[in-house]
Amino acid sequence: MDELRICVVGCGMIAREHIERIQNRIRGARVVAVCDVVPANLEQGAAIAGPGTKQYKDFNEAVNDPDVNAVMVTTPGQFHKSPVLAAIKAGKPVFCEKPLANAASDCREVVEAEMESGKHLVQVGFMRRYDRGYRQVKELLDSGKFGAPMIVKCTHRADGVADSYTTAMAVTDTAIHEIDVLPWLVNDEWDEVQCVMPRRSSKAHEGLQDPQVMILKTKGGIVTVLEVNVNDGFGYDINCEVVCENGVVNLPCPSFPTVRFQNNVSTKIEDNWIMRFIDSYDVEIQDWVDHALKGQTGGSSAWDGYVASITADALVKSQTSGAFEKVQTGGTPDFYQK
């Protein structure tokens, strides 16, 4: 394959970002078709993709269009499974935005289908593995200079969420990023998880427990403490501190000018995740394209997507029980061993 001819299934906000990205900043790929059940979305997606883009309402037709040799799934989470399975069936590489699916059983179904196909076709869109800062931290950790990681402390803070955001979504929508990126960062696997609830912020909408403190232990004994705080009042603020035997490594914050103004020396905090991770998305999609052109996958696999889902389920359970809950994946199949 010397060029990915991509069909984008689902033309919502993130899809439009990706279409623009692929058409303008990615080498070796083109969006040739878009698909959405909502006509307005479909039209917008096609307009961004440019003249000549094919438009589909039915994802099966789209995926199986012979002009299409790769699929990007950007539908809402509950509609990820079917187009991903269709792509696997068609033997076409597929990039699926996170999460792989909302239910762990659906993730498992994808995993089984991919293993059956015998080919690595599915990449899940956890973009943090492509963030420069996380990569710098991983490089330092992997160098061995700091010794073994023992404690990891993270914050996942945002300045407001939609009214539809629920207590469980603090795990499934928000913490899910740390659930995926941290085992990759420290080369370990989740073992058990606990959720501790602080007093509610008066800024949280009715029915939402915010903030939350999540404690995740790995099989290797690393204790991770994650603050999820989506009404923080000041911006999008991702931090990650890794305490090792010989020293401590902190994820860098985005680089902004330092300013002296009105009795403060200050640096800007991002408004939202789009700006914070916009570079990571570029790197991620380019990496997917580069891998797919060679018949490979990069980043998070379908198995990673399944494990994230199982881990999220355990955390949601602990939101009610308050106790440590086990993360039971049944062990990594040979197919997904690295």
Stretch that binds a second copy, among 63-71, 170-178, 238-246, 301-309 (CB under 8 A): 238-246
**Footprint on residues 148-187 left by a second copy (CB under 8 A):** 148, 150-151, 153, 159
Asked if 144 interacts with a second copy (CB under 8 A), we say no
Total interface residues for a second copy by CB under 8 A: 71
Is residue 137 within 8 Å of residue 242, measured between CB atoms?
Answer: yes
Neighbours of 282 (CB within 10 A): 15
CB of 16: closest distance to a second copy in angstroms?
Answer: 19
**Footprint on residues 78-137 left by a second copy (CB under 8 A):** 132-133, 136-137
Residue 57 or 145: the one with the smaller Cβ distance to a second copy is 145
- Structure token digits, residue 234: 């000041």
The CA-atom distances, in angstroms, between 253 and each of 160, 186, 241 are 20, 19, 12
Amino acid at 302: A
Residue 35 or 214: the one with the smaller Cβ distance to a second copy is 214
CB of 162: closest distance to a second copy in angstroms?
Answer: 19
Give the Cα-Cα-Cα angle 14, 67, 91 (nearest 5 degrees).
80
**Which of 9, 48, 68, 251 touches a second copy by CB under 8 A?**
251
Phi, psi of 308 (to 5 degrees): -60, -40
Can you give the C-alpha Rg of the chain in angstroms? Answer: 20
CB of 267: closest distance to a second copy in angstroms?
Answer: 5
Residue 283 or 312: the one with the smaller Cβ distance to a second copy is 283
Residue 163 or 245: the one with the smaller Cβ distance to a second copy is 245
Asked if 237 interacts with a second copy (CB under 8 A), we say yes
CB of 196: closest distance to a second copy in angstroms?
Answer: 6
Is residue 231 within 8 Å of residue 159, measured between CB atoms?
Answer: yes
CB of 103: closest distance to a second copy in angstroms?
Answer: 29
CB of 31: closest distance to a second copy in angstroms?
Answer: 14
Q: Strand, helix or coil at 244?
A: strand
**Footprint on residues 254-313 left by a second copy (CB under 8 A):** 254-269, 271
**Which of 14, 47, 115, 140 touches a second copy by CB under 8 A?**
140
**Which of 232, 284, 304, 325 touches a second copy by CB under 8 A?**
232
CB of 149: closest distance to a second copy in angstroms?
Answer: 9
Reported in sequence order, the residue ranges of 21-129 that DSSP labels E, i.e. its strands, are: 29-35, 54-56, 70-73, 94-97, 122-125
Omega prior to 39 cis, within 30 of 0: no
Which H/E stretch holds residue 39? helix 39-49
CB of 134: closest distance to a second copy in angstroms?
Answer: 10
Amino acid at 124: V
Asked if 1 interacts with a second copy (CB under 8 A), we say no
Name which of 104, 168, 133, 134 is nearest 302 in CA terms: 104
DSSP letters of 60-77? HHHHH-TT--EEEE-S-G
Instruction: Please give the Cα distance from 224 to 227 (Å, whole number).
Output: 10
The DSSP secondary-structure symbol of 300 reads B
In sign, the C-alpha dihedral spanning 283, 335, 308, 99 is: positive
Residues 27-66: x where in contact with a second copy by CB under 8 A, - otherwise, as a string = x---------------------------------------
**Footprint on residues 182-211 left by a second copy (CB under 8 A):** 196-203, 211
Residue 27 or 294: the one with the smaller Cβ distance to a second copy is 27
